[in-house]
Amino acid sequence: MKQETTLVFDQQLYEAQVLQKAAYRAMSSLTVDIACADGKFSCVLSSNIGVEEPSFLLAVQEFKKDVIDYQLRYQLNIETLPIKNLILGLAFSKTGLISE
């Protein structure tokens, strides 16, 4: 039997890609339809065929945790992008310890 639940996220607090990534990660158990209106994202989570209620509920829980995690990743990536490029630049520069 198909399970469904709707979650609402404030656009001020979450990026769209964060929800999309969490949705992607959950795809073996459920699919997510994302829509935005009035400054909010609404996500309709539907269980995949053959997924029963206990598994669905677990997957919904995981989805919520993943949203938080991906939002943190987003924040972390933005903040560390400049230093990451600097480090990669150093890694690929001509001078180095390992001589080819």
Partner 1 sequence: MLKLSGKIIRIQAVDISKDLTLIKVSTNRDLPQILRREMAYLVSGHPLPVGFAHYLLTEQHQDLAKELPLDSDYSILPNDYDYIDNNDIVRLSADRQSIRVLFRASSPNNSILLTEQCNNYCLMCSQPPKAVDDSWILDEIESLIPLIPKETRELGFTGGEPTTNRERFLKIVSLTKSYLPRTAIHILSNGRSFRDSRFAEKYAEIGLPDAMVGIPVYSDDPTLHDYIVQAQGAFDETIQGILNLKRLGQRVEIRVVLHKLSIQRLPQLCEFIARNLLFVDQVALMGLEMMGFTRANLDELWIDPIEYKDILSKSVQILTKYGMNVSVYNHQLCLVNPDILPHYRKSISDWKNEFAPECLTCRRQSECGGFFASGIKFGYSKQLTPF
Partner 2 sequence: MSKFQKLDFYAQQRPYELLPFKFDRLNDCEYVITNMAGEYHILPMPVLEPLISRTLPLTSELIPTLRSKQFIRFPEEEAPLQLLALKIRTRLSRLAQFTNLHIFVVTLRCDHSCPYCQVSRQSESRDEFDMTSEMADRSLDFVFMSPNPAIKIEFQGGEPLLNFEMVKYIVLEAEKRNLKEGRDLQFVIATTLSLLTDEMLVFCKQHHIVLSSSLDGPMNLHNANRPRPGRDSHQRFEEGLTKARAALGYDQVSALMTTTDKSLPHVRAIIDEYLRLGFDGIFLRTLSPYGFAIKTKKFLSYDTERWLDFYKEGLEYIIKLNKSGIRFVEQYSSLVLAKMLTSTDPGFVDLMNPAGAGIAAIVFNYDGSVYASDESRMLAEMGDHTFRLGNILEQSYEEIILSDQLLDALEDSFTLSSPMCSDCAFEPFCGSEPVYHHAMHKDPVGRKPESSFCKRNMAIFKHLIELMENDEGTKRIFMGWANRC
Among partner 1, partner 2, none, partner that 4 touches (CB below 5 to 8 angstroms by kind): none
Work out the angle between the directed axes of helices 53-91 and 16-25 (0-180°, nearest 10).
120
Closest approach, Cβ 84 to partner 1, in A, equals 19
As given in the structure block, the two tokens for residue 43 are 């996500």
Task: Please enumerate in sequence order all residues whose Cβ is within 8 A of that of 63, keeping only pairs 6 or more positions apart, or say none.
Answer: 7, 22, 23, 25, 26, 30, 32, 45
Closest approach, Cβ 34 to partner 1, in A, equals 42
Does 95 bind partner 1 (CB under 8 A)? Our answer is yes
Closest approach, Cβ 97 to partner 2, in A, equals 6
The nearer residue to partner 2, 37 or 91, going by C-beta atoms, is 91
